Amino acid sequence: MFALLTSWSHYTVFSQSDSLSQYSKIISSGKDSITHVHSLYSSIGSGLNMIFLGSTISLDKPLYSATVTYGFRNSFYASASATHIVGVIPYMAFCNLSLSYSHVFNSWFDISSGISGYHTPESLKDKLFGDFAYINVTAGFDWKFIYTKLSFGELISDGTREYLQVRNSRYFETPVFLKGKGQISFDPSINVLFGDLLNVETSTGFTRLGSWSVFHHIRKYPVSTIYSYSYKFGLLDFEFSLPVTFSYGNFSLDAEPGYILPSFSNSDYPAPKGFTFFLTANFKII
């Protein structure tokens, strides 16, 4: 899920006034984060599986991750993370470096952009995935009751593939408690993902759509039957999530249960489906 990654610990600025207020509380120690020039965060997290742009990049296995993020003027962020997948050797299955920039123009419009690079050890490139990068540009629109993000991205690996994500969410938060330092926020959302589907056509004219990932080679059918392969831009899946954040001073704990519903069914080229869950602890160092 891209809510998890461009980087698992990337920070997103919401145009909604309440969301921006809560965002500042999570990453600051009670001071105006807009006037903060430099900031540094650390986080550790775990998840049941990592889904990225409609494909699993963790072999459907649990994983653990550690991230360090540097922020500049609450707009520019640079982060580095390392991820371990349970049962996979070497211990660090892949690492991620990312840069992002965001700017809020007014109460109803904001923009952001980012680039992330993913690297795996040579011994895991065939089993897990090869190195790749992802670039995206996002526009956020606040309709008062619903906040919409339109994200256009391009994944660069052996080839290039384009993606479009439409995310609709509704942020809300509880009153402060624990002497004004604690708060709980919710950001339920529905994400619709568009991208390249694998189109398999037989010599008899029968076609089927399937999930295709630039991370792996196509597993083709027996050569005794004639098949042709092409790619078709279309709807990949629906992603439902309910992020819940508990913040207290410089610390925040994020829990994100979710469900992925593919737009098609193909047993030969299946797409990730079902429940996901991630838990991340964040701490502001400076």
Q: What is the pLDDT of residue 205?
A: 65
Q: What is the pLDDT of residue 159?
A: 75
Q: What is the pLDDT of residue 23?
A: 40
Q: What is the pLDDT of residue 173?
A: 95
Residue stretches of the chain with pLDDT short of 50: 1-35, 217-218, 223-224
Q: What is the pLDDT of residue 202?
A: 74
Per residue, the 3-state secondary structure of the chain, as one string, reads: CCCCCCCCCCCCCCCCHHHHHHHHHHHCCCCCHHHCCEEEEEEEEEECCCEECCEECCCCCCEEEEEEEEEECCCEEEEEEEEEECCCCCCCCEEEEEEEEEEECCCCEEEEEEEEEEECCHHHCCCCCCCEEEEEEEEEEECCCCEEEEEEEEEECCCEEEEEEEEEECCEECCCECCCCEEEEECCEEEEEEEEEEEEEECCCCEEEEECCCCCCCCCCCCCCCEEEEEEEEEEEEEEECCEEEEECCEEEEEEEEEEEECCCCCCCCCCCEEEEEEEEEEECC
Q: What is the pLDDT of residue 36?
A: 73
What's the CATH code, domain 17-284? 2.40.160.40
pLDDT per position as a tens digit, 47-85: 998 988 888 889 889 999 999 999 999 899 999 999 999
